[in-house]
Structure formats: C-alpha cells, structure tokens
Amino acid sequence: MFALDGIRVLDLSHYIAGPHCSLLLADHGAEVIKLEPLSGEPSRHAQPVYDGQSLYFTSMNRNKKSLAIDLKRPEARPVVDQLVSTADLVVTNYSKGVPERLHFDYDRISKINPRIIMVQVTGFGLTGHMSDLSAFDGIIQALSGISYLTGERDGPPLKAGAYIADHAAGLHGALGALLALQHRERTGVGQLVDVSMLDSIVAMLAYEPARAHVGMEPARSGNRSANVFATTFRTRDGYVYIAALSERMWTGLAEEVGTAELADPRYLSAARRVEDYDSLEKAITAWTTQHSSDEIVARLQARGVPTGKVSSIDDLLASDQLADRDMLPHVRHGDGHVPMPGRVAHMSAEVPLVPARAPGLGADTMGILTSCGFETDEIDALAASGVVSVPASAYAASVGAAGPPRGGQPSGPRSSGIGDWA
C-alpha cells in the first residue's frame, strides 16, 4: 500500500512548482489527474527533448494521468465541477486571478465540494502588495536574498544551479496539502493553502535576517562557510568539500595534512581559523592537489573529518549510494528508460514504487470522464465540439473499436502553450 492511496488530486499546474507539488503526492500513491490545455501543458514542448519527448516534462509528471480540456469553454465547467465533486485536492500554480477567470477558484469549488482542499502556489502569495505580479524561479532567487548571498566575495550575485525556488515551493505545497488533509480528518472540511515561492526561499535564510537586523551585514563568501572553517579545495583530479567545524575535526585534518602551520594550537579556536582562512586554505590546497578526490575523502573520513567529493551529474549516475536507495529510478521515456530523481521519504509501511511514464496528452480523458459518470456519447459530444480531446488509442480501449482522435483543436484561431489558460 501507499500512504496516499485513495486520494484524488486535480493538477491544474504548469512548469515546476505546481507539478512538483503534485508529483510528491503521486509518488506516495495519490491519483493525480493532470488537466491540460488541448495543445498540452507548455513544458511538454520544453527542452531538453530526447527520443521525441521533453525530459523536463517527464521529470515532473511521471505517475500522473492526463485529461486534455479547454477550460475557457463554458461547456467545460460541468466537467470540472464533476471532477471537483470526486476530488480531495486541487493543485495549481497559475498566477493570482487565473483560477477565478477559469472558474476553478476555491470560493467556487468549495461550494461544490466543502471537503475539497486547494493548494495555490504563486510567486508572492495571494496577499501583499506584490501578489498580482508574476515570477519565475530566477526572479524569486534574486528577490529573496539568495542570489545576493551566493557568489565570490568580489564577484556578482549568482543564482543556484537548480530551480530551488520552484522545488521549495512545491515541497511546501505538498506539506500544506498533507496538513490540510489531517485537518480535514478532524473537522470534515477543506481549506485553501496559500504558498508563496518567495516565502519558501526566505524560509531558507535561517538566521540571516536576524544577523542583518543587528548590524552584522551578511556578505557573499564563495564556497566558504562564513562562520566556521568549511570550503572547497582543488584536488589532483577535481574538487572536495572539507568541513572542519569542531576542534576534533580540525585536529584530524591537521594531523592528516601534517604541516606545522596547521598544528599551531591557536587554530584550535574556530574563530581564529575563520580569521586566517586565506593562509590555511593555501596550506591545505598544497596537500589536496597532490591527491585524488576519492583518496582525500577516504583518508579524512577515516579521521572523522566530514569530507565529500564535488560530483558531476555523471558521478551521480554511477553512485552506489544513490543506487542503494533507489534515488534515481529509471522511468519509461519514449522507447526506452531514463533516470529521474525518486522518492526522498522512505516509509517502512509502503511498498516499493515502480514509477510510471509521464502520460500522453489526453491519454486518460476517456477513462477519467467515464469514472465520473459521463456516458460515452456525452464524452464523444464534448470531444467533437473541441471541449476535450481523446486520443484514438484511448477511445478504442474504452469502446473496443478503433477510430480517429476525438476532439483536439476546435475551429478558429487558437494560441498555444501558456496562453491557452493563463
């Protein structure tokens, strides 16, 4: 069994923050139904593309179902209303105001289903003077102070190498969904969960706001930790990160390096080590450049000094540790399989996860609508009028006869991508 067996999620989201939220729920057993424009959610067409499909889309949408529907059409409202009546959760990361325009806002859907929970992830939240603004990950990193703190001391601010704002917001969205489910278990009613990408990143700053408030202005410090001796060192074949935080760790490092400078008893003081960062870093680099990264990690870890190799993505693919924890399971993509990040929370009562491929556009439209009580002729009429799209294969599987795709692009000009809904 899975922790979220029996939970139905309507996923009206795009790109990363919303899809990541619903992906976390899907990975623990929730039935996630991705509602997409007839042209597909924009990331279906995003780079990088491999074997004819977007790796970006696959990474965020495995273990989900797809229902292709034009939410701008009035005829779509009864379909969405019926879905809402059967669902536990709605996840969206469209900008403030879009749910209202498309008639799936919380005020409306909670009247249809008082137990419904809606997780709404936006750049700045639903309140505050910036709440009407749109944003993407890099903008949030810049506004949050993360970029200001990232980079070399005399260099420009930098963004992180991953979409940390999107993923943090998705993670907080999933946490909010679980908290709301627990609240509903006690009270019987749903609620709106308002998650801001900016809040999600500011929450990572820990003590930095307090430090600035009392006049200890934070500054960029490159790879160095600002308060303890921990930084990156070049090796014979790459880089390692060494953290000599405590007196015991420093002693182990000094003994392994074996120089008189590091053995100076003054450096048993953490403050003195930070004060003399430059000279100590130079002395340690003279040693690390003589050895391979793997050798340094083994020797320092044996002395109780936390040390790690700076890994490439290829290194991760070959990692025994990640393989032992099934952290990069292979997901069906195109005609083959590709590794994707897997579940982080390993729960002893859950069965192992066999990840399903990301769904084809509208692949589950017929099955989902049938499960909600729509008759085949009703679905066919919706498809014929361009409200929903049903691939030929899905139609054949449901009615036992092959035929052309039902629905697709209605007559008249249409925009594509994000403009379809937003």
In the block, tokens 């060494």 appear at: 242
Q: Pseudo-torsion of CA 266, 271, 276, 280, nearest 10°? A: 70
| Structural tokens at position 105 | 């806002």
Sign for the pseudo-dihedral over CA of 101, 103, 106, 108: positive
Q: Which of 125, 86, 84, 129 is nearest to 107 (CA)?
A: 84
φ and ψ at residue 134, rounded to 5 degrees: -95, 160
Residue pair 144/200 in contact by the 8 Å Cβ criterion: no
| Structural tokens at position 51 | 């074997």
What b-and-e string marks burial along 274-295, b requiring 16 or more CB atoms within 10 Å of the CB? bebeeebbebbeebbeebebee
Among residues 27, 166, 364, 420, the one annotated as catalytic is 166
| Structural tokens at position 50 | 């491999």
DSSP classification of residue 409: S
**Distance separating alpha carbons of residues 245 and 300, to the nearest angstrom:** 13
- Catalytic residue at 154? no
Strands (E), 137-217: 192-196
Residue pair 228/241 in contact by the 8 Å Cβ criterion: no
Residue pair 223/308 in contact by the 8 Å Cβ criterion: no
Residues known to be catalytic: 166
